[in-house]
Structure 1
Amino acid sequence: MLIEKRWVRWVIMVSMILLSTLTKPVEAGVPLDGIAAVVEGEIILESEIADQLRAQVMKFSRAGEQVDVALLRRRVLDGAVMRVLRAQKAKQLGINLKDADVDGAVQRMAQHNNVSVEQFKMMLAREGVGFDSYLSSIRDQLYVQQIIRQVILPSVRVSDEEVQDLYKATRQDPEKIGGEPELRIKQILLSVPENALIHRVREISDKAKSLVSQLRGGASFARLASEHSDDPSGLNGGDMGWFKRGELQAQIEDLVFKLEDGAISEPVRTTQGFHIFMVAERRVQQHFGQSEGDHVKVYARHILLKVAPNSDAQTSAQVRNQLEKLRREIEAGASFAEVAKRYSQDDGSAQKGGDLGGFGRGVMVPSFEDVAFFLKPGVVSEPVRSPFGWHLIEVTKREEQKADTMDEAKKELTVRLREAKIKARYTQWLRDLRLSSFVDYR
């Protein structure tokens, strides 16, 4: 059950990066100039892509990013194409969703945000998201879950030797004297077709090198990811989320765990294409079995307004004042999660309502922990300064944790390895699906 919950959370994270595309069968009378693409007999309308593109441009504008709209449009369209193909394949596999399945998922999402379904609809409208499009994105999310259960999970196996090797690595790595590092990684992926000719591979390689030069020269990773990355995370600024040892391909893992924070990797060639990585953030998780006795774990969410470390006092004060206004809105009854989604500049948590999950001591920066571990649940902090900017913090739950035993550690590592294999095989499944399908871009 733990394994299933973990990969379902991953599916939700990946699926919600893109808004869903509504599709209709090709019919006579549909103006050709209104068609963005035809996907195995189903059409994607220009108006639908325009709605999604507008929402994406708005999101990047709020973060102060100026993006190439033409390049961003292609990324939005590619995501829409994959959703159509997933739905078609799911139906071929005999996966049929009921309206009750979709309605139940919407109700759970509304409950997660502590609002009614009607209030949740209004929240979406304020973000420029049509409710029909949101329902379609939920349907896509449910298709992904069922495809993974039916196609991917039966073929995934984790051996005792793999678990033992990872256990030794997490104990013996010199980096982990104080705990196990966990990295928040950003990626730009330039896909290479399986049968690409040498000159085409060279062109993509040269483009990857050019992007690395731009990034090292100060270009925005989020902007270039949104414009060029072929990975779904591109529309989230390239943010892939948090990773520990064993959750990435060995070739990639060896590279990123040696990168310094903020450093840009050289292009890395895999079967998917050329990858460019950056470690956006690093934290240390407690070793398995490290503590003797109990320790506190807090569950928290936050709103971050970024301030560069070298900003002057006036700029810092202005940002703090903005955050204080948001705090007053929340105290007046606004939803913390809704405010976080609209204003937080933490790409990794904003779309989850600022949710950081649970963490123990030594995970967050000291200034953040000093507040989080003393806040009472439900109380919103005063603005808190950290190296990243100004935060509002709310602790949602506190709990006492027992130290992990070796057996518990190995169970967790089994889950970690299994989850990584699920992700890798699902990614390859999507790649194969796209290569075997006919798509007519208009």
Structure 2
Amino acid sequence: MKRLGFLVFALFVSYGIVNAAEVIDKPIAVVNGEHILKSEYSKIAEPIIEQYRLVTPKAEFTEEKLKELKIKVLDQMIDDKLILQEANKQKIRAFKKDIEDGVNQIKKRFKTDEEFKSELKKEGLTEEKFTKRIEDQLKQIKLIDSEIKAKVAVPKDESVKALFEDIKSAIDGKELKEKTEEEKKNIDTLSKMIQREYGEKVKAKHILIRSSKDDAMTDQIAAKKKIEEIQAKLKKDAEFEDLAKEYSEDTGSADKGGDLGTFGKGEMVKEFDDVVFAMQLGDISGIIKSEFGYHIVKLEGKEIGRKLTYDSIKAYLADFLRQKDAEKLYSQWLKELRAKAAITTNPIE
């Protein structure tokens, strides 16, 4: 389930000890009498906020969005606390071997035992506390399995077939009628994933000069001039790969001569897709403008798509429907846990 990724992530960022001289620790929430301290919250929230800052366009990184993110992090910590409390209430136990396996799985991420212990020390954890954290998470997972996973029914064939027909309609560009916005969003996401797997694929290289509508006008003009100069060099038979290494501002592909690898429709922005999938093998495009800036693309290869049939994806669609049912059941179960709990929170700074 979605929350399990958060549990694993929390192993090395939660429950660390913060120097009392630096932070005056106080509860940021109280859940059935158990405190969530400000230091615990900071250990979780700070790396998540930093990651969000790195991947979010500046125009979208607002104080309101930041506040929403902070509240979501605290809500997740409250949920974790409630689930562990419920697991203890039901006397759920984690087997010793499972705990040892969990500890060893984390240890394998480190080259040496000394490196592992150093990380524990940096996070203010002893091996005993770390092992207890693994044990608690295993108890939470066992509780979720018994309360949610075991109670979710296998989807009926007609439901799976109906979803398949909706996906085919979405791929064909037909309007989806009598669907909620959430259903439309799920179908759109699934259709794009399936189209990437079964549809036509291309292999391409590109040169990117970054430019945003939020940039100063002088910077936008300079970016356009730069890509035009690169285009002129290509017309004089300069090597595409050499120009990509020298000028491209896509740090993920520049060193590889602009190589983007193989991708399907929907994996790139629409402006990029529309041009690339209409190109012929060996073609070099004109200048393409997208939200990332200016591109020039070279088509390196094409793969014909596979025929999409119901039998080929029915197991995947059934799993998807079962997962959605599990998410609804999980959300309702959490609401019930919260309704029975005594929860108080303090303002998040």
| CA deviation profile, 1:118-162 (whole Å, cap 9, x unmatched) | 89979x99xxx9485999987776555433322212221211221
Distance 1:70 1:136, change over 3 A: farther
> Identical aligned pairs, as a percentage?
19
Unaligned runs of 5+ in 2: 18-23, 227-243, 278-286, 295-302
Corresponding residue SS for 2:63: coil
Partner of 1:276 in structure 2?
A: none
Query: 1:37-436 counterparts in 2 under 5 A?
Result: 37-62=29-54, 63=56, 64=58, 65-67=61-63, 73-93=70-90, 94-96=92-94, 99-106=99-106, 110=109, 116=111, 130=123, 132=125, 142=138, 145-157=141-153, 158-171=155-168, 173=169, 175-177=170-172, 251-254=180-183, 256=185, 284-286=192-194, 307-308=211-212, 314-315=219-220, 317=223, 324=249, 326=251, 361-365=264-268, 367=272, 387-389=290-292, 403-436=307-340
1:421 Cα deviation (Å)?
Answer: 0.7
Q: How does the TM-score come out when normalised to structure 2?
A: 0.55
Higher strand share: 1
1:83 Cα deviation (Å)?
Answer: 1.4
1:420 Cα deviation (Å)?
Answer: 0.9
| CA deviation profile, 1:83-122 (whole Å, cap 9, x unmatched) | 11122223334142654243244357x4xxxx74789979
Give the whole-Å Cα distance in 1 for the aligned partners of 2:214 and 2:63: 25
Higher helix share: 2
Give the whole-Å Cα distance in 1 for the aligned partners of 2:38 and 2:319: 42
Give the whole-Å Cα distance in 1 for the aligned partners of 2:211 and 2:95: 45
Q: Is the Cα contact below 8 Å between 2:196 and 2:264 reproduced in 1?
A: no
Give the whole-Å Cα distance in 1 for the aligned partners of 2:214 and 2:26: 49
Number of equivalences: 280
Distance 1:284 1:149, change over 3 A: same
Unaligned runs of 5+ in 1: 1-6, 25-31, 182-244, 259-278, 299-303, 332-357, 372-383, 392-398
What letter is aligned with 2:180? Answer: Q
What letter is aligned with 2:292? Answer: G
| CA deviation profile, 1:4-32 (whole Å, cap 9, x unmatched) | xxx5xx444565787865399xxxxxxx9
Q: Is the Cα contact below 8 Å between 1:284 and 1:363 reproduced in 2?
A: yes
Distance 1:148 1:76, change over 3 A: closer
Corresponding residue SS for 1:37: strand
Are 2:8 and 1:22 aligned?
Answer: no
Partner of 2:233 in structure 1?
A: none
RMSD: 5.8
Q: Is the Cα contact below 8 Å between 1:156 and 1:422 reproduced in 2?
A: yes
| CA deviation profile, 1:159-198 (whole Å, cap 9, x unmatched) | 1221222223233x3x4216999xxxxxxxxxxxxxxxxx
Q: How does the TM-score come out when normalised to structure 1?
A: 0.45
1:418 Cα deviation (Å)?
Answer: 0.9
Q: Is the Cα contact below 8 Å between 2:152 and 2:326 reproduced in 1?
A: yes
Are 2:30 and 1:35 aligned?
Answer: no
Partner of 1:396 in structure 2?
A: none
Give the whole-Å Cα distance in 1 for the aligned partners of 2:106 and 2:175: 36
| CA deviation profile, 1:186-211 (whole Å, cap 9, x unmatched) | xxxxxxxxxxxxxxxxxxxxxxxxxx
Corresponding residue SS for 2:36: strand
Corresponding residue SS for 2:266: coil
Corresponding residue SS for 2:265: coil
Partner of 2:284 in structure 1?
A: none
Larger Rg: 2
Q: Is the Cα contact below 8 Å between 2:152 and 2:322 reproduced in 1?
A: yes
1:34 Cα deviation (Å)?
Answer: 2.3
Give the whole-Å Cα distance in 2 for the aligned partners of 1:305 and 1:15: 39
Give the whole-Å Cα distance in 1 for the aligned partners of 2:100 and 2:209: 39
